[in-house]
Amino acid sequence: MSKIALRKGDEVIVRKGKDKGKTGKVLAVLPEKNRVIVEKVNFIKEFIRPDRSRNIQGGIMEKEAPLSIANVMMFCSECGRGVRVKKKILEDGSKIRVCDKCELSLEKQK
């Protein structure tokens, strides 16, 4: 299994499938299955049975389903499209992820 370059909170764009072109934030990474869950992308309908003992009403609920990691790319806000990621070592020895095209840092600001 290869190491996954995506992390929770990254902005990604969908490259293939019914939601092609949509962007969203990564909600969860599932490395054992090589999948990610992206916010507001790949909705499925889940049917909930009513349960009176736990006070659940039941009905149809929509939720995000996992996507293959091969179908998403990191989204660069400066380039405006999906980009490959390079690692860059700073002067203090720390590593950051940068856009391959414009060298913009893709790390979240804390």
What tens digit of pLDDT does each residue of 60-90 get? 999 999 999 999 999 999 999 999 999 999 9
Of all residues in the chain, what percent carry a pLDDT higher than 90? 78
pLDDT at 103: 87
What CA–CA distance (Å, rounded) separates 96 from 107?
A: 7
Its CATH class, for the domain covering 11-83, is mainly beta
Three-state DSSP class for residue 63: strand
How confident is the model over 52-64, as a mean pLDDT? 92
Q: Output the average pLDDT for the chain.
A: 91
pLDDT at 106: 86
The torsion angle over the Cα atoms of residues 88, 89, 90 and 91, rounded to 10 degrees, is -150
pTM of the model: 0.84
